[in-house]
Amino acid sequence: MDKYLVSPNPHVHAAVSTRSLMRDVVIALLPALAVSVVFYGWKELLVIAVSVASCVCIEYAITRWLLGKPSTTGDLSAVVTGLLLAMNLPSTTPWWVVFIGALVSIGVAKMTFGGLGQNVFNPAITGRVFLLISFPTYMTHWEMPAGLFGADAVSGPTLLGRVNEQGAAAVEGLDCWQTLFVNVGGSAGEISALALLAGFVYLLCRRVVKPWIPLSIFATVALVAGIFHLADPAVYTGPVFNLVTGGLILGACFMATDYVTSPMSTAGGIVYGCGIGLIVTMIRYFGSYPEGVSFAILIMNMAVPLIDRAFHQKKYGRT
Amino acid sequence: MAKVTFKIGGVHPDDAKLSRGCAIEVLPLPQTLYVSMAQHLGAPAVPCVAVGDKVKTGQVIAEPGGFISAFVHSPASGTVKSVGPRRDLAGNGVTHIEIAVEGDEWVEGVDLSEALVKEIPQDRTAMLDRIKVCGVVGLGGATFPTHVKLNPPPGSKAECLIINGAECEPYLTSDFRVMLERADEVVVGAAIMRRILGDCPCVIAIEENKPEAVKSVSGAVSALGYEGISVLTLKKKYPQGGEKQLIDAVMRRQVKSGALPISVGAVVQNVTTTLAVYEAVQKNRPLISNVLTVTGDCLPVESQRNFLFRIGMPLNYIAGYAGGVPGDAAKIVSGGPMMGKAVADMDAATVKGSSSILYLSESLTRRKPESACIRCGRCADACPMGLEPFLLNRLRKAGDLSGLEAGSVQDCIECGCCLYSCPANIPLLDHIRMAKGQVMGIIRERAAKARAAAEAVSPKEVTKENK
Ligand code: SF4
Ligand code: SF4
């Protein structure tokens, strides 16, 4: 009998692993990555490659050589962080700046907390915000898409950057829906809302994430922006503009839904999403930064332990 | 009718009902049978035969060892060879009666004919007594003595009898075959229990992946024409056959933590138990046989079987009869892959509640290495009791027993959904089961103390009253 396994139930397991979930996130990001490479060309490809390679190597180095533990890079979470970081950076970012971002994302935000599952802050966002504060010139200089096949590159501020300087009038007459397809001037993750949404739908279909966090973010942003826009359309941009511009879709669908740094329960997720939505609009309207998605998510990351304490699953027979 | 299911949690494992096409075959008797005295929940039965005694099939060989216990009958005719400890499925020593089989000569008074007896007796107490004397226990897993469950304590009333034909465990097809081949007897059994419970409505609940069973049982219900019995199709979801989940699915009621199903008016009986009730009441036939599936992912479909076995048959006898253990079997399970027990010893004998010999391959059953919790929440989404397994696991690591109790670890039904769903392969249920044991111990201790305190106080009250 010795040759047979004896272990407690259950004796079978679902075909799901950390690796398979992360692989699905990578697949979901592919459309948006492809669009950005087509529009920004080989420079964008370089940013992506440097970011992913650095994240994976840094995680490998820290686990193997610093901690002396088996490497965890096989779970692909470092690849996801690398991709998300790259999508938050302009294609003109020099490679060494990308590397520093990766170092902060993986080395500081992820590994010092104990690695995957232990970190309080979303690693990619932490890296991005660090770069934004440390290297503002690189981080706010956006290149107008020249494309893989295009000729000269033109540079200029993003739509949100213009609004921040000149008020809502700066984008008057802009067809917001156009940005759904191609958002002129932005980071890779901001360029095509449609490609991002397609990836997100894939994640929903594969049941990797639930829709409540992004939906509550979108609803809050639309509501708050709607109220302000009604009050003074000349100063405050409208709901549609706020939904489709900047990193909102990327942030809401791919970064606010990060398992590790978001609440566990559905109700908690909705509170978290509303919080992010509110902070985003406040920063966009009143802050000195044109864009607030990253800050909003980091701020709400801090509230997650509290939210998790307040909201629990509904138990059977205990009402 | 719209298909229903339970509200909280649940998972959808591949149902792999590979042996669904295999008709029930009667297993021939082996030379020796080993009848366990612990075939049921509660106190073990006490042997009432001695070495050398001649016994007949269906003769009582052990009597209940307490209120929650059951009669055990000889599964064949022959001679008692020994009475003593022997290893059971889990490898624990349990008293067994060893019978050298000489034939299959039944005791007097048992109706062995195939004829269906449709007339339901009127005398409730007599029927309950028959069920008790025939040693009927719940065959859906818990093996709780059936006569106890069918006799609600005073003050509680059965409002719905649920016949559990969910068979939500993957691979198993024994209940399915019983519903297909013996639908009439099952329906008469349901009518008997309904009568015992004071003519409450009866629902026969079957999962949607068994449309043939729904058809055959519905056909039997309308053909036999009993009142108050209906068939309900359930959505496929594990653990639908869990008593609490089934009550939620069928009655839209939830049993409070620590309470019995009867507190919400529910009595749940499995389909094979229902068949056993029929045989006990209408045929005076004691429970000495049941149906078991020989199946698994590494057993070719043509080697799969559904057998009518007698209790006391060693597993390796059945396995051998069915063609032997497949070479690539890595684990042998008695019961379903979600809640069954890994067999530690193939010499162990079948008991009343045996439902399968399940051969699982290495790739299907070997646990993958554990990694860090990624807080994905899948375990909590899967838990049919609405618990938060990741949290319970964290509290267990911290040794926080009061936190565990507040997190309702004692409500865990050990269904395995959490571990099944965890992408990090954390052995959640292993840890939770241990924590549950500790917390239950504390709860029991507290209850005992409270009782003792109440008893210490009450004499004073009596004297006060006397003054
Ligand atoms: S085994 Fe217990 S904790 Fe795990 S899912 Fe089932 S009831 Fe919940
Ligand atoms: S399923 Fe596993 S990884 Fe996910 S939250 Fe539960 S314990 Fe953590």
Which residues does chain B have within 8 Å of residue A319's beta carbon, measured at their own beta carbons? 254
Q: Tell me the pLDDT of chain A averaged across its residues.
A: 84
Domain assignment present for residue B397? The answer is yes
Q: Are B103 and B78 in contact (CB under 8 A)?
A: yes
Q: Are B6 and B237 in contact (CB under 8 A)?
A: yes
Instruction: Determine the Cα–Cα distance for residues B26 and B287; give it in Å rounded to an integer.
Output: 15
Domain assignment present for residue B72? The answer is no
**pLDDT tens digits for chain B (467 residues)?**
568 999 999 999 998 999 999 999 999 999 999 999 998 888 999 999 999 999 999 999 999 998 899 999 999 999 999 999 999 887 889 999 999 999 999 999 899 888 899 888 989 999 999 999 999 999 987 889 999 999 988 888 899 999 999 999 999 999 999 999 999 999 999 999 999 999 999 999 999 999 999 999 999 999 998 889 999 999 999 999 999 999 999 999 999 988 999 999 999 999 999 999 999 999 999 999 999 999 999 898 888 999 999 999 999 999 999 988 988 889 999 999 999 999 988 899 999 999 999 999 998 998 889 999 999 999 999 999 999 999 999 999 999 999 999 999 999 999 999 999 999 999 999 999 999 999 999 999 998 999 888 888 765 554 444 44
Residue with tokens 């990619």: A124
pLDDT value for B464: 47
The values of phi and psi at residue B331, to 5°, are: -145, 140
Domain assignment present for residue B434? The answer is yes
According to DSSP, residue B79 is labeled E
Domain assignment present for residue A319? The answer is no
My answer on whether A127 and A203 are in the same domain is no
* B248: contact with A, CB 8 A cutoff: yes
Cα distances from B303 to residues B21, B22, B293, B359, in angstroms, run: 12, 10, 11, 12
Q: Residues, chain B, total?
A: 467
- Residue to mutate among A1, A6, A12, A23, with most B CBs inside 10 A, is A12
My answer on whether A241 and A129 are in the same domain is no
pLDDT value for A242: 84
**Which atom of ligand 2 is least distant from the CA of B378?**
1
DSSP secondary structure, B231-254, as one string: EEEE---BTTTSHHHHHHHHHS--
Token pair for residue B88? 């059971």
Which residues does chain B have within 8 Å of residue A264's beta carbon, measured at their own beta carbons? 375, 377, 380, 388, 390
My answer on whether A241 and A189 are in the same domain is yes
* C-alpha A125 to ligand 1 mean position (Å): 35
**Which atom of ligand 2 is least distant from the CA of B418?**
1
pLDDT value for A170: 55
My answer on whether A38 and A123 are in the same domain is yes
My answer on whether A131 and A172 are in the same domain is no
- Name the B residues in 136-195 with CB < 8 Å from any A CB: 170
**Which atom of ligand 1 is least distant from the CA of B383?**
5
Domain assignment present for residue A72? The answer is yes
pLDDT value for A153: 40
Query: How many domains does the structure of chain A reveal?
Result: 2
Instruction: Determine the Cα–Cα distance for residues A142 and A147; give it in Å rounded to an integer.
Output: 13
**Which atom of ligand 2 is least distant from the CA of B376?**
4
Is the pLDDT reported for residue A107 higher than 70? Answer: yes
Domain endpoint, select from A138, A157, A180: A138
* A10: contact with B, CB 8 A cutoff: yes
pLDDT value for B150: 92
Amino acid at residue number A189: G
My answer on whether A205 and A288 are in the same domain is yes
Q: Containing domain of residue B384, as a range?
A: 370-467
Instruction: Determine the Cα–Cα distance for residues A126 and A108; give it in Å rounded to an integer.
Output: 9
User: Is A264–B255 a contact, with Cβ atoms under 8 angstroms apart?
Assistant: no
Token pair for residue A79? 């690849």
Q: Name the residue with higher pLDDT: A164 or B409.
A: B409
Residues 6+ apart with CB under 8 A from B73: B58, B59, B60, B61, B134, B135, B286, B287, B288
Instruction: Determine the Cα–Cα distance for residues A296 and A256; give it in Å rounded to an integer.
Output: 9
Amino acid at residue number A171: V
Ligand 1: which residue has its CA nearest to atom 8?
Answer: B383
Residue A132's CB is within 10 A of a number of other CB atoms, namely 19
Domain assignment present for residue B314? The answer is no
Instruction: Output the ligand 1 site: residues, CB below 6 A.
Output: B 382-385, 387, 389, 412-418, 429, 432
Domain assignment present for residue B148? The answer is no
Instruction: Determine the Cα–Cα distance for residues B8 and B6; give it in Å rounded to an integer.
Output: 6
- Cβ burial of B453 (10 Å; 0-12, 13-18, 19+) is exposed
pLDDT value for A167: 58
Domain assignment present for residue A94? The answer is yes
Q: Are B262 and B161 in contact (CB under 8 A)?
A: no
pLDDT value for A237: 84
Instruction: Determine the Cα–Cα distance for residues A215 and A277; give it in Å rounded to an integer.
Output: 10
My answer on whether A205 and A87 are in the same domain is no
My answer on whether A73 and A125 are in the same domain is yes
pLDDT value for B265: 93
What is the least distance, in Å, from the CA of A118 to any CA of chain B? 8
Domain assignment present for residue A288? The answer is yes
pLDDT value for B465: 44
Q: Name the residue with higher pLDDT: A161 or B260.
A: B260
What is the least distance, in Å, from the CA of A167 to any CA of chain B? 40
Is the pLDDT reported for residue A219 higher than 80? Answer: yes
- A172-201 pLDDT tens trace: 555 555 555 455 455 655 667 888 999 999
My answer on whether A173 and A130 are in the same domain is no
Instruction: Determine the Cα–Cα distance for residues B11 and B22; give it in Å rounded to an integer.
Output: 26
* C-alpha B388 to ligand 2 mean position (Å): 9
Query: How many domains does the structure of chain B reveal?
Result: 1
pLDDT value for B459: 58
ipTM of this predicted complex? 0.86
- Name the B residues in 421-450 with CB < 8 Å from any A CB: 421, 423-425, 429-430, 433
Of B390, B441, B379, which Cα lies nearest the Cα of B416? B379
User: Is A9–B341 a contact, with Cβ atoms under 8 angstroms apart?
Assistant: yes
Domain assignment present for residue B126? The answer is no
My answer on whether A53 and A94 are in the same domain is yes
Of A245, A269, A259, A265, which Cα lies nearest the Cα of A191? A245
My answer on whether A131 and A243 are in the same domain is no
Q: Containing domain of residue A22, as a range?
A: 18-138
My answer on whether A87 and A192 are in the same domain is no
Is the pLDDT reported for residue A222 higher than 90? Answer: yes
Domain assignment present for residue A200? The answer is yes
* A70: contact with B, CB 8 A cutoff: no
Instruction: Output the ligand 2 site: residues, CB below 6 A.
Output: B 373-379, 389-390, 421-424, 426, 428
* C-alpha A259 to ligand 2 mean position (Å): 10
Amino acid at residue number A250: L
